[in-house]
Amino acid sequence: MARARKAPKFRRVPPSLRREALIEAALTSLRKHGHEGLSVRRIGAEAGVSPGLINHHFPSVSTLVAAAYETLSMSLLESIQRRARESDASPRERLRRFFQASFAPALLDPALFNTWLVFWSMTSHHPEVRAVHDRTYAAYRAALGSLLGELRPSDGVPRFKVRPAAIALSALLDGLWIEASINPRTFRPAQAVALCEDWTNALCAGALPSLIERAASA
């Protein structure tokens, strides 16, 4: 009879690849089970790997989560930015696409929202996660600021302060994203986009005085 070659019980994988696979498994587990997906057993099962392997490659679960946070954040930001810049369009048009991409169905997935909540809830007690938050949010606002910086204010309107403007706009985007994620029936994605556009137009028109250069609010 043909030599029955035993199927190997597991495969050895170089550490860097294994780490990446674990990060991916962690994201899937968080997406599937929310806060309960945070367990070496679940993540290990998701990766088809024994629970002990997580602690073998990461000093703690929070380190793994921090890495997963960074991966997901950057992936989403790149995806949004790609859509914003894909065809050469006017700065105004690019910003519009950024808004649209931010409220695309893939971004309004409740599972994604729950994943995000897990990240947020860890920021207070896990410095590594908090560091990732600070870094990725800075990147997010930088991207927004870069797009805002290309806009030109209406004639006769002084320049606006790009960084605070990016902070404010990201807050508006976040607030809308959260409510849309929790309760999609509150408003439609197109309305969210329209609100962001309105805000941007108001900014360019000089209707938001506290963001005007050298002329903070009364």
The upper half-sphere exposure of residue 197, i.e. CA atoms within 13 Å in the direction of its Cβ, equals 16
**Binding-site member from 8, 16, 214, 217 for DNA (CB under 7 A):** 8
User: Which residues inside 182-211 make contact with a second copy, applying CB under 8 A?
Assistant: 182-183, 186-187, 191, 194-195, 197-199, 201-202, 205, 207-211
Under 8 Å CB-to-CB from 153, ≥6 apart: which residues? 159, 160, 204, 205, 206
Kindly state whether residue 122 participates in binding DNA, applying the rule CB under 7 A. no
Q: Which is nearer to DNA, 53 or 157 (CB)?
A: 53
Looking at the Cβ atoms of 11 and 185, the one nearer to DNA is 11
Contact call for residue 121 and a second copy (CB under 8 A) = yes
Q: Is 10 in the site for DNA (CB under 7 A)?
A: yes
Q: Is 32 helix (H, G, I), strand (E, B) or coil?
A: helix
Least distance between DNA and beta carbon 30 (Å): 12
Rounded alpha-carbon distances, angstroms, from residue 117 to 34, 43, 84, 123, 181: 8, 18, 26, 10, 11
Query: Long-range contacts made by residues 94-99, C-beta under 8 angstroms, separation at least 24?
Result: 94/147, 94/150, 95/147, 95/148, 95/151, 95/200, 96/193, 96/197, 98/144, 98/147, 99/173, 99/192, 99/193, 99/196, 99/197
Nearer to a second copy, 94 or 133 (CB): 133
Q: Which amino acid is at 61?
A: V
Check residue 165 for interaction with DNA (CB under 7 A): no
Q: Indicate the DSSP class of residue 106.
A: G
Least CB distance to DNA at residue 37 (A):
8
Per-residue mark of binding to a second copy, 6-45 (x: CB under 8 A): ----------------------------xx----------
Among residues 52, 125, 214, 217, the one that binds DNA under rule CB under 7 A: 52
Burial of 149 per CB tally in 10 Å (0-12, 13-18, 19+): middle
H or E segment to which residue 6 belongs: none
The residues binding a second copy (CB under 8 A) are 34-35, 110, 113-114, 117-118, 120-121, 123-125, 130, 133-134, 137, 164, 167-168, 170-176, 178-179, 182-183, 186-187, 191, 194-195, 197-199, 201-202, 205, 207-211, 216-217
The residues binding DNA (CB under 7 A) are 6, 8-15, 18, 36, 38-42, 48-53, 55-57, 60-61
